Amino acid sequence: MPPILIFDVDGTIAETEEVHRRAFNDTFAAQGIPWRWDGPLYGELLAVTGGKERLRHYIDAHDPPTGRDWRARVNELHALKTRRYCDLIDAGAAALRPGVRRLIGEALSRGAPLALATTTSLDNVEALFRSALGAKLGDLFAFVGAGDMVSAKKPAPDIYRLVLGELGAAPEAAVALEDSYNGLAAATGAGLKTIITPSTYTAADDFSGALAVISDFGEPDAPYRHLAGAGGDDTMASLETIERWTRTGRG
Ligand code: XBP
Ligand code: MG
């Protein structure tokens, strides 16, 4: 039986964090708030998962001008940002990372369950798959764990425990596909073997404990770069190679 693949979204399915950063900055500007998150600052703020939590952390840690009244209105500000993010995604701002479409297709053709475990808002996930695959989430995934479905977000294991519970699956029956330290900590905390494909903002993260670290999932004409763990003798992450890696712990 092939493993159940549980995908993270931001950074794993697509390089979406630059779109999130643009949506935050566009919202600040539209609301006349004199904040601007440049790349290096956003890279630091990504240590805090969840856009609302990230906004509160920014206000508390950086005490920016006009921060105080907006702290009480973070949910309102975040809802505006989410609407802007979905508009950007609907306009084609993010493309699937290599191998994502192929891996999802393999699982669907083998009848292997698929799920998502993400910190981002459900609206954002729907927009991404609508735009990138023209698909509704229910057509692809047995369950989607997202955003505020849990109060403790990654690196807490809660979202992965919720997904496993909804699938009625033991951790050993599934593999997590992640891009960040926070995601690895959440997945391994829930007992899941985890494959990492680092993304732009997470290239320097500590991926100790990952089953495999590969540049991306690879394509037949574009092999991945093997970075650590299992997969050293393979060129693509497929249901077959992932199943073998989980059995032998190496590629
Ligand atoms: C990444 C996150 C999210 C996004 C922003 O989620 O931490 O907070 O950065 O999206 P993951 P929201 O890697 O778990 O998919 O503003 O909707 O939180
Ligand atoms: Mg991620």
Ligand nearest to the CA of 125: 1
**How would residue 148 be classed by pLDDT, with cut points 50, 70 and 90?**
very high
Residue 60 bears catalytic tag: no
**How would residue 66 be classed by pLDDT, with cut points 50, 70 and 90?**
confident
Contact of 161 with 190, CB cutoff 8 Å = yes
Q: Read off the tokens for 89.
A: 């995604």
Residue of 45, 54, 197 to mutate, ligand 1, most atoms within 8 A of C-beta: 54
Strand 212-214 versus strand 226-229 pairing type: antiparallel
**For 112-139, what is the mean pLDDT?**
97
pLDDT in tens, 218-237: 999 999 999 999 999 999 99
CA of 116 to the centre of ligand 2 (A): 11
At residue 67, the pLDDT reads 62
Distance CA 87, CA 123 (A): 11
Residue of 20, 201, 202 to mutate, ligand 1, most atoms within 8 A of C-beta: 20
Residue 221 bears catalytic tag: no
Contact of 127 with 90, CB cutoff 8 Å = yes
Q: Read off the tokens for 193.
A: 């073997």
**Which percentage of the chain shows pLDDT scores above 90?**
94
Which of 172, 175, 161, 168 shows the shortest CA–CA distance to 210?
175
CA of 232 to the centre of ligand 1 (A): 30
C-alpha distance from residue 205 to each of 15, 16, 46, 55, 122 (Å): 16, 17, 11, 22, 25
Query: Which residues, judged by CB distance below 6 Å to any ligand atom, belong to the binding site of ligand 1?
Result: 8-11, 17, 20, 49-51, 82, 118-121, 124, 147, 154, 180, 183
**How would residue 171 be classed by pLDDT, with cut points 50, 70 and 90?**
very high
Which pTM was predicted? 0.97
Distance CA 203, CA 141 (A): 28
Distance CA 92, CA 80 (A): 19
CA of 231 to the centre of ligand 1 (A): 28
Residue ranges of alpha helices (H) inside the chain are 17-30, 39-45, 51-62, 67-72, 74-90, 100-110, 122-133, 137-140, 158-167, 181-189, 239-248
pLDDT in tens, 187-198: 999 999 999 999
